[in-house]
Amino acid sequence: MKPYLITIAFTVLVTFNTSAQNIPEGYMLQYEQNFSNSRALADFRFSNPDAWNISSSGSRYYLQYRNDTSYKPKVISPGIIGILDNYIFGDFIMEADLMPLGSDSLVSEICILLGIKDSLQYYYVQLANKINENTQGVFLVNKSHRLKITGDSTDKGIHSVFDKSTWYKIRIERDIVQRTIKVFYKDMTNPIMESRDYELVMGYIGFGAFSGSGCIDNLKIWAPTYIPEKTEIFTGTATL
């Protein structure tokens, strides 16, 4: 094949793959991880490294956390936290497969953290099988308090089916100009929840929970750019 034909074919392939995933022009895949290698643990910093590990089921590998109460946040917020190190994002699109494994409590939940400035300033999206003023929504943790910034009327679509031991594909879209956070499940064109808040802008991304165990896999983050800066929020790394 002639060189220019190869270039055209590659361009068409890239364009097709990008449009198929609804990725805006100018966004690039900045981070991708399927956790098939234990060295993936080195990409994260944890509130308690002993609570995190790489697990597998059949041919599938994934990041897993177990129920842990050793970290006590000063504000009501997730106590099990893993932060992706060396990536500060503004605008971004994140997709991941999440699986709650449950706990002794009646709530099955997983949290996605974003805009993390420090351990007392960030947003988190909680996906849960129950919905009330304290669960299932987008929350702001801001120094001395926690505030739910989505209403019950917008938190729909996943709370009735977020069962234990089932994988769910989730998409998060963050726009720092509009200050919006959109959460998608199943239908990647219509969000199941959306918030607008002007408190925080750029920050790290992470995962966690209040209690129980859970799994993360097939993590992809697209963004126009990012800042490569090590975090000092948590310094602990899990054992490889």
Where are the chain's structural domains? 26-223
pLDDT at 104: 59
SS3 133: coil
Burial class from Cβ neighbours inside 10 Å (0-12, 13-18, 19+) for residue 16 reads exposed
pLDDT at 111: 96
How far apart are alpha carbons 208 and 47 in whole angstroms? Answer: 10
How far apart are alpha carbons 8 and 134 in whole angstroms? Answer: 52
pLDDT at 89: 98
pLDDT at 212: 87
pLDDT < 70 stretches in the chain: 1-21, 102-106, 151-161, 236, 238-240
How far apart are alpha carbons 179 and 161 in whole angstroms? Answer: 29
Cβ pair 64, 55 in contact under 8 A: yes
Q: What angle do CA 100, 203, 141 make, to 5 degrees?
A: 65
pLDDT at 16: 37
Helical (H) or strand (E) element with 139: strand 137-142
Sequence-distant (6+) residues with CB within 8 A of 110 are 98, 99, 100, 126, 127, 207, 208, 209, 214
Amino acid at 183: V
pLDDT at 5: 41
Helical (H) or strand (E) element with 17: helix 3-20
First to last CA, the chain: 44
The domain made up of 26-223 has a fold known as: Jelly Rolls (2.60.120)
Residue by residue, DSSP assigns 176-231 as TTTTEEEEEESBTTS-SEEEE--S--SBEEEEEESSSEEEEEEEEEEES--B----
Q: Tell me if the pTM is above 0.95.
A: no
pLDDT at 3: 45
Token pair for 174: 């963050």
Beta strands 193-196 and 109-118, pairing class = unpaired
pLDDT at 158: 66
Residue 64 CB-half CA count within 13 A: 18
